[in-house]
């Protein structure tokens, strides 16, 4: 055990985590020249296309230090705030973390929030100053920032460049010397923590675990504590670029397990694996339950695909434990699921993965957050509102509380004005303004979560020219004046387009929704009125004009009454069509409601 080191890499987006992981693999000879490529651990096409890490990736390296052979288990983590649950799970499986900071961009919001996660788990932090070879790098100033943040010595900060390979050897030496070896009882009953899993269509569920006590052998009878089910360990092994089967995985090490489980619901991330005959008495403290921030409905385009969508979601949930879903139905869209996500990027990625990995074409409804409503009849009883249609009638409603967050934005001093006005427009209240350096400011706001769900992040990047970083934590619920805005198409309510909005914004957003839908809904043989309404009161209206045939073309000359008769006949036909006509809503219309400011 004293030759094992488990560590992860944490940093803000684009500070060079994946590139640093590539260099460490190169330096330790874990990859051959033929296997080398950029972002080696990002195995998903989506990750490569977007240049972001979505999943944590575990890999084992062997390294000789002072004549001794060490086993290094590395986990590369995502940097985006929407995937922070991946980071927290990776941290739980490690004893140390490399905190990577970009020498040109300095410390950003996500750097700080990931650092706190690591400190809560008592990890040994090794600060790494990356990209020192850039012309715009400012190593002295950024080193001072890191020293202020961590309270460490300036000599402990390792200058490096993942691109050119500067400082890689120093990093490996620091990992071996500073990160503590795993502790655990070798002779105790097996106790292992599941920190990730993936579905393999041929072999069933592959479970990634870290052994805390005891050891796990091939062919052993094991038990999952949370589900209380027994399995046979068909194969255990270590995670290299490919899986390497082994006879036994011992205390402190990380590996994978294949038991042939075909049902995705039987494996829970955070569960404990133990021996079936000699089980452990205490389960490993798993991860706290994920708190979804954004809710949206996902429906199959064809209602017959409902069961197929369910099994796809279960398999996806194995690989992404922060996805939460429950069945629901909608009058406009049929049967589907109400899903909880950690943010808008997470929602987008899940939708893409369903389409790419499972060939499921889905419709996503307008995202919203979870509210608490209270009725006049019983003012203390909470009515949970995940969907605008759950909101009680206005006459019965006493009050509504909405979730608030504490938003931390770090930006350049030049952009403080535009960032503040954006946050105030989104109903934010400034609570603190701190100058970290003469150039960089940290702003804290209390704002409603619902306001940051849609386009806040994109607009923040625009007003700050890409220089603002953003992180948030929930701070509970507060009372707000909210109303439900319904969208009526051809006088029938489309429940999938309803939204809960603040009274002050309801009129503007209702009007914009109608204008946007007018552009997107194709013209039919009859007029389509598009209306936004609060209760019975219509607050905005647009009309998609009918396609009309020129019925008077064959009349030339003669009395005007001949033309009028033909037009009246056409008008009656249009009126009858409008009564029986059905309006098809394109998928773009559901998504366009989110981008009202474009």
Residue ranges of the binding site for GTP: 14-19, 130-133
β-pairing, 124-130 vs 158-159, is: parallel
In 269-355, DSSP assigns E strands to 272-275, 294-300, 324-330, 334-341
Number of H helices, E strands in the chain: 14, 31
Helix, strand, or coil (residue 217): strand
Angstrom distance (rounded) from CA 332 to CA 347: 21
Reduced to 3 states (helix: H, G, I; strand: E, B; else coil), residue 332 is: coil
Assess contact for 57 and 41: CB atoms under 8 A. Answer: yes
In 10 A of CB 380, how many CB atoms? 7
**Contact status, residue 453 vs residue 405, Cβ threshold 8 Å:** no
DSSP string for residues in 533-573: EETTEEEEEEEEPPP---GGGG--SS-HHHHHHHHHHHHHH
Cα angle 87, 88, 91 (rounded to 5 degrees) comes to 85
Show the tokens assigned to 200: 């393999």
* CB atoms near residue 504 (< 10 Å): 9
Residues with Cβ < 8 Å from 240, sequence gap 6 or more?
Answer: 30, 59, 60
Starting at the edge strand that comes first in sequence, how are the strands of the sheet with 334-341 ordered? 324-330, 334-341, 294-300, 362-364
Cα–chain center distance at 459: 18
3 state SS for 478-494: EEECEEEEEEEECCEEC
For tokens 């509380």, the residue is 401
Q: Which residues sit in the known binding site?
A: 14-19, 130-133
Q: How many C-beta neighbours within 10 Å does residue 448 have? A: 20
Nearest to 126 by CA among 75, 180, 174: 174
CA distance 64 to 118: 27
**Partners of 296 in the β-ladder:** 339
């Amino acid at each position: 055990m004293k030759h094992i080191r488990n560590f992860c890499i944490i940093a803000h987006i684009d500070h060079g985590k994946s590139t640093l992981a590539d260099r460490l693999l190169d330096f330790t000879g874990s990859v051959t020249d033929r296997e080398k490529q950029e972002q080696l651990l990002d195995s998903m096409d989506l990750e490569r296309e977007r240049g972001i890490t979505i999943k944590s990736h575990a890999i084992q390296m062997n390294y000789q230090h002072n004549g001794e052979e060490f086993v290094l288990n590395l986990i590369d983590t995502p940097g985006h705030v929407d995937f922070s649950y991946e980071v927290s799970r990776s941290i739980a499986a490690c004893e140390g973390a490399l905190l990577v900071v970009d020498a040109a961009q300095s410390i950003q919001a996500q750097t700080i929030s990931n650092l706190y996660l690591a400190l809560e788990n008592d990890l040994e932090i090794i600060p790494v100053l990356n990209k020192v070879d850039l012309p715009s790098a400012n190593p002295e100033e950024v080193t001072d920032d890191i020293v202020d943040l961590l309270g460490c010595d300036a000599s402990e900060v390792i200058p490096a460049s993942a691109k050119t390979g500067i400082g890689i050897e120093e990093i490996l030496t620091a990992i071996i010397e500073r990160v503590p070896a795993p502790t655990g009882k070798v002779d105790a009953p097996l106790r292992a923590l599941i920190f990730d899993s993936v579905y393999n269509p041929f072999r069933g569920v592959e479970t990634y675990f870290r052994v805390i006590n005891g050891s796990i052998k091939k062919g052993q009878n094991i038990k999952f504590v949370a589900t209380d089910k027994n399995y046979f360990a068909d194969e255990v092994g270590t995670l290299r670029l490919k899986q390497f089967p082994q006879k036994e995985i011992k205390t402190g090490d990380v590996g994978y397990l294949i038991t042939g489980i075909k049902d995705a619901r039987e494996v829970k991330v955070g569960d404990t694996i133990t021996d079936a005959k000699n089980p452990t008495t205490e389960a490993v403290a798993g991860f706290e339950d994920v708190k979804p921030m954004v809710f949206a409905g996902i429906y199959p385009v064809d209602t017959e695909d409902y069961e197929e969508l369910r099994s796809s979601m279960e398999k996806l949930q194995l690989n992404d434990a922060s996805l939460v879903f429950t069945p629901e139905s909608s009058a406009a869209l049929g049967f589907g699921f109400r899903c909880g996500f950690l943010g808008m990027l997470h929602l987008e990625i899940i939708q893409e993965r369903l389409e790419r990995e499972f060939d499921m074409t889905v419709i996503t409804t307008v995202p919203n957050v979870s509210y608490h409503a209270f009725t006049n009849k019983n003012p203390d009883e909470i009515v949970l509102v995940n969907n605008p249609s759950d909101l009680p009638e206005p006459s019965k409603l006493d009050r509504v509380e909405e979730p608030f967050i504490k938003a931390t934005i770090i930006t350049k001093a030049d952009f403080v004005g535009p960032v503040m006005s954006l946050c105030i427009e989104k109903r934010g209240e400034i609570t603190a303004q701190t100058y970290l350096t003469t150039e960089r400011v940290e702003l804290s706001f209390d704002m409603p979560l619902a306001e940051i769900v849609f386009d806040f992040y994109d607009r923040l990047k625009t007003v700050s020219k890409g220089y603002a970083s953003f992180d948030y934590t929930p701070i509970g619920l507060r009372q707000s004046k909210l109303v439900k805005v319904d969208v009526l198409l051809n006088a029938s309510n489309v429940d999938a387009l309803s939204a809960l909005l603040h009274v002050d914004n309801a009129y503007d957003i209702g009007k914009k929704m109608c204008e946007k839908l007018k552009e997107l809904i194709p013209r039919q043989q009859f007029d389509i009125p598009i209306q936004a309404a609060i209760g019975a009161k219509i607050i905005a209206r647009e009309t998609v004009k009918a396609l009309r045939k020129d019925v008077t073309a064959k009349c030339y000359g003669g009395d005007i009454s001949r033309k009028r008769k033909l037009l009246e006949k056409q008008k009656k036909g249009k009126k009858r069509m409008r009564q029986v006509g059905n309006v098809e809503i394109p998928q773009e219309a559901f998504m366009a409601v989110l981008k009202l400011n474009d």
